[in-house]
């Protein structure tokens, strides 16, 4: 098959490599010329994705994968088009479709009869049918369901383990009509492999959801569930702090019963997915009071953690955070992943500065120039500080101790990764620790 993957980001590039590795002729299109140049040389633009470096080099060397900045030409030479252009939210939490709309126009300009277009980017419900279908028809002059075919098939993978997740989870597809769905199922069965999942009644593989809307909602439901669950855990943690209870023990006990699946509380919810997709859901559901409340709770956790630190520094007549030097450990939104999308580091630093503290940031995955490029001030381990706040659950933080932070008087571990025994003599708190 001849396949075009539009957008060679952290999801799109592994998908292109996966398709090419199955013996298909794949061209990746991206508006970033630097990304296209690196891919064309067999160099991964964003190190850290398991298996990608070796697989990419193999399909580039074999000629199965090529890259271009000309999306329209790539689409014109393809029978299948998979779109992974990001859709983000603006300052008012509304979806920003500008990049996707531009990509859709470029796709429509090269669209040929018989082509299947699959949008894999997570979208608000109705977007595939109501927004992109008419744009594709108007710009191409073709009729969907007769001349070309259209589906939504949401990506369900995590960066860092994309290839494993492609095998592990069912591939959801939803066509805008019956023929589109049929072709989408056949396409994904030809480009993906699946691990056995005896725990699934339907078995692992490609699942036809019956409509594009159902496929859109399935992805929003699974990600919104996580945000709401984390919001509930954070609510429990804050109550536990006020009553002297350790929430970790409570959650472990509650989850020993098979109907309870409470997530872990924490200082922030970051990444491209969990802070964003509940807003996509709420965009079409004005009655989503639970979803909105959870998002508000989770967005308030960085400030809450900073408040805990201020309380520790205010004990025994202390001045609190005013004038304090605070080391914020972790710029990435989650451990082991070099990505700052919606990272809690930004609201944590903002709250520290608002409280009169000097906020300094350190992360084992980032150099000083990368820290300063994001408007933050680098911290070097060994420099004197008054306090520490752990923002990311990097494995490196499991063994750090007070000795490495001269003068430290308090630490708030927002991820429960540090060892309290290594912080003897220092006021040590976690979120929901009950102290």
Average pLDDT over residues 334-359: 96
pLDDT at 47 over 90: no
At 258, is the secondary structure helix, strand, or coil? coil
Q: Give the whole-angstrom CA distance, residue 206 versus residue 318.
A: 60
Burial of 10 per CB tally in 10 Å (0-12, 13-18, 19+): buried
> What local confidence, expressed as pLDDT, does residue 326 receive?
98
pLDDT band at 91; cut points 50, 70, 90: confident
Residue 89: pLDDT band (50, 70, 90) is: confident
Distance of CA 235 to the CA centre of its chain: 23
Question: pLDDT at position 435, please?
Answer: 65
**Mode of pairing for the β-strands spanning 358-362 and 410-413:** unpaired
Query: pLDDT by residue (tens digit) across 231-254?
Result: 999 999 999 999 999 999 999 999
pLDDT tens string 405-432: 999 999 999 999 999 999 999 999 999 9
Which of residues 319 and 301 earns the better pLDDT score? 301
CB atoms within 10 A of CB 200: 12
Pick the CATH number of 247-435 from 1.10.580.10, 2.40.50.60, 3.40.50.150, 3.40.50.720: 3.40.50.720
Q: Would the pLDDT of 299 be above 80?
A: yes
Cα 235 to Cα 206, 265, 270: the distances in Å are 37, 8, 18
Q: Where are the domains of the chain?
A: 2-212, 247-435
pLDDT score of 192: 98
For residues 283-292, average pLDDT: 94
pLDDT digits (tens, 9 = 90+) for 307-332: 999 999 998 778 899 999 999 999 99
Measured distance CA(330)–CA(85) in Å, rounded? 28
Task: Provide the whole-model pTM.
Answer: 0.92
CATH 3.40.50.720, applies to 2-212: yes
Nearest CA among 172, 258, 269, 256 for reference residue 228: 269
pLDDT at 93: 76
Residue given tokens 């292109």 in the structure block:
16
Across all residues in the chain, what is the average pLDDT?
A: 96
- pLDDT surpasses 90 at 64: yes
pLDDT digit string, tens, across residues 114-158: 999 999 999 999 999 999 999 999 999 999 999 999 999 999 999
pLDDT at 318 (0 to 100): 84
pLDDT at 216: 98
């Amino acid at each position: 098959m001849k396949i075009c993957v539009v957008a060679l980001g952290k999801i799109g590039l592994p998908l292109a490599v996966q398709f090419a590795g199955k013996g298909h002729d794949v061209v990746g299109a991206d508006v970033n010329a630097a990304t296209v140049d690196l891919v064309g040389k067999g160099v991964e633009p964003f190190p850290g994705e398991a298996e990608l470096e070796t697989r990419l080099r193999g399909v580039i060397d074999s000629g199965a994968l090529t890259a271009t900045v000309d999306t329209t030409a790539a689409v014109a030479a393809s029978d299948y088009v998979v779109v992974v252009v990001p859709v983000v939210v603006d300052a008012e939490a509304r979806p920003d479709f500008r990049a996707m709309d531009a990509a859709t126009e470029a796709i429509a300009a090269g669209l040929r009869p018989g082509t299947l277009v699959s949008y894999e980017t997570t979208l608000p419900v109705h977007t595939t049918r109501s927004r992109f279908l008419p744009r594709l028809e108007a710009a191409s002059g073709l009729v969907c369901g007769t001349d070309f075919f259209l589906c939504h098939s949401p990506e369900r993978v995590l960066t860092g383990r994309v290839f494993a997740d492609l095998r592990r989870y069912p591939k959801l597809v939803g066509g805008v009509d019956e023929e589109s769905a049929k072709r989408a199922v056949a396409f994904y069965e030809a480009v993906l492999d699946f691990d056995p999942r005896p725990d699934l009644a339907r078995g692992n593989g490609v699942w036809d959801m019956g409509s594009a809307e159902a496929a859109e909602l399935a992805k929003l439901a699974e990600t919104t569930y996580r945000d709401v669950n984390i919001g509930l855990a954070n609510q429990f943690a804050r109550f536990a702090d006020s009553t002297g209870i350790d929430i970790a023990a409570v959650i472990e006990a509650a989850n020993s019963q098979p109907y309870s699946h409470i997530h872990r509380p924490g200082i922030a919810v970051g990444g491209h997915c969990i802070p964003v997709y509940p807003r996509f859901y709420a965009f079409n559901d004005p009655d989503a009071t639970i979803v909105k409340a959870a998002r508000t709770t989770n967005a308030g956790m960085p400030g809450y953690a900073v408040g805990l630190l201020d309380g520790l520094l205010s004990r025994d007549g202390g001045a609190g955070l005013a004038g304090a030097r605070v080391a914020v450990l972790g710029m990435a939104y989650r451990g082991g992943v070099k990505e700052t999308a919606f990272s809690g580091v930004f609201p944590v630093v903002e709250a520290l500065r608002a409280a009169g503290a000097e906020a300094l940031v350190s992360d084992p995955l980032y150099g000083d120039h990368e820290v300063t490029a994001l408007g933050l001030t680098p911290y070097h381990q060994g420099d004197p500080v008054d306090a520490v706040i752990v923002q990311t659950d990097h494995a490196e933080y499991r063994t750090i101790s007070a000795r490495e932070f001269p003068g430290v008087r308090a630490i708030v571990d927002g991820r429960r990764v540090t060892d309290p025994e290594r912080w003897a003599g220092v006021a040590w708190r976690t979120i929901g620790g009950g102290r």
